[in-house]
Amino acid sequence: MLAAPTISEEILDLKRDRRAILLAHHYQEPEIQEIADVVGDSLELARKALKYEGDVIAFCGVWFMAETAKVLNPTRIVVAPDQDAGCSLVDSCKADDVREYRRRNPDHVIVSYINTSVEVKAESDILCTSRNAVKIVNSIPREKTVLFLPDRNLGAWVQRETGRENMKIWQGSCIVHNTFPSRRLLDAKVRFPEAEVVAHPECPEAVLRHADFVGSTSAIIEHCAGSASREFIVMTESGVNYSLERAAPGKRFHYVANENCNCSECPFMRLNTLEKLRDALMNLTPRVELSPELMRRALVPLERMLAVG
Ligand code: 13P
Ligand code: SF4
């Protein structure tokens, strides 16, 4: 008797039948990353979504990433395993508040992190990710005042890196990175004195000041793979461990628990499961549906970002 197909096998069959590509963020569970066509950070996945010529994009990350894929490639069907996979940064910044800021400050340039709703993107002048934020802010004429939204830690890091004084920063934060306590990092440094500290710029300054390297998830992976160090304390979501071990076999990675869950996992990213992914590919829902007008407006700042790099 033939064994019943595993869920992963079902997904691979559905992916072929639907002419689908499976894009997964580094924070996804290993079993999702294993069958993904591409695993990457938010910028790399956006670029892949833009180029895809099949019928369906199945996005395993959080909802704003799936929305971004739809805006970049609107004639594809974009599905995601769970529509409730949100992001505390998206929740911290409402389009009405951004519109009001614009009304009061019409000459400011609004730079929005990609971790925003599509409505906020549509109100923005240019977008950025953690990978290109410094480059994007540096591309704006020095005399212009910038509003950076919504992540206060990323904004403050970009301000330090660019030395730009005329920069206002929204006060949103990531529930995962913002709650890594620096005292736990200091404890880890005592326990692993040989380890390099690598951190995502969504961490607070009290953490970043102890980091040897700061960068996006993919930049952290590239750094650890290329570094002469054999051991790292990784100040980001622990799902990245799967990609780290693939990219830097034999090296050791340590994680620091945050105050929220006493872990280093994003509860939104972890809503996605193989079962939900299979059902999304089978039923083509939850599906990203956006009005053409909203997509047209959100595409402008996205394309500006991709043109800068
Ligand atoms: P990356 O741009 O590094 O993928 O980060 C996205 C994110 O949500 C980090 O918490
Ligand atoms: Fe949002 Fe933080 Fe989760 Fe990234 S880790 S998706 S910023 S809540």
Domain spans in the chain, listed from the N-terminal domain onward: 7-85+271-289, 89-175, 177-255
Per residue in 49-65, pLDDT (tens digit) is: 999 999 999 999 999 99
Task: Judge whether residue 271 has pLDDT over 80.
Answer: yes
Ligand 2 centre distance from Cα of residue 269 (Å) = 8
- CATH: 3.40.50.10800, 3.60.15.10, 3.40.50.720, 3.40.50.300. Which one for 89-175? 3.40.50.10800
Q: How many Å from the N-terminal Cα to the C-terminal Cα in the chain? A: 54
Mean pLDDT (whole number) for 109-134: 98
- Name the CATH architecture for the domain at 7-85+271-289: 3-Layer(aba) Sandwich (3.40)
The yes-or-no verdict on residue 262 having pLDDT over 90 is: no
Task: Decide if 89-175 and 177-255 have a common fold.
Answer: yes
Per-residue pLDDT for 267 more than 80? yes
What number is the average pLDDT over the span 286-300? 98
- What is the predicted pLDDT for the residue at 41? 96
Q: Is the sign of the CA dihedral 192, 198, 201, 202 positive or negative? A: negative
Q: Phi first, then psi: give them for residue 49, nearest 5 degrees.
A: -60, -40
Residue 59 near ligand 2, beta carbon < 6 Å: no
Residue 260: per-residue pLDDT:
83
- Residue pair 71/118 in contact (Cβ under 8 Å)? The answer is yes
- Average pLDDT of the chain, as a whole number: 97
Among 267, 175, 244, 268, which residue's Cα sits nearest to residue 30? 244
Q: How far is the CA of 161 from the centre of ligand 1 (A)?
A: 18
* Domain 177-255 grouped into CATH 3.40.50.10800: yes
**pLDDT, tens digit, 9 for 90 and up, residues 132-145:** 999 999 999 999 99
What mean pLDDT is predicted for residues 77-100?
98
- For residue 1, pLDDT over 80 is answered with no
Residue 112 pLDDT more than 90?
A: yes
Ligand 1: centre distance to CA 113 (Å): 10
Looking at the predicted structure, is the pLDDT value of residue 18 above 90? yes
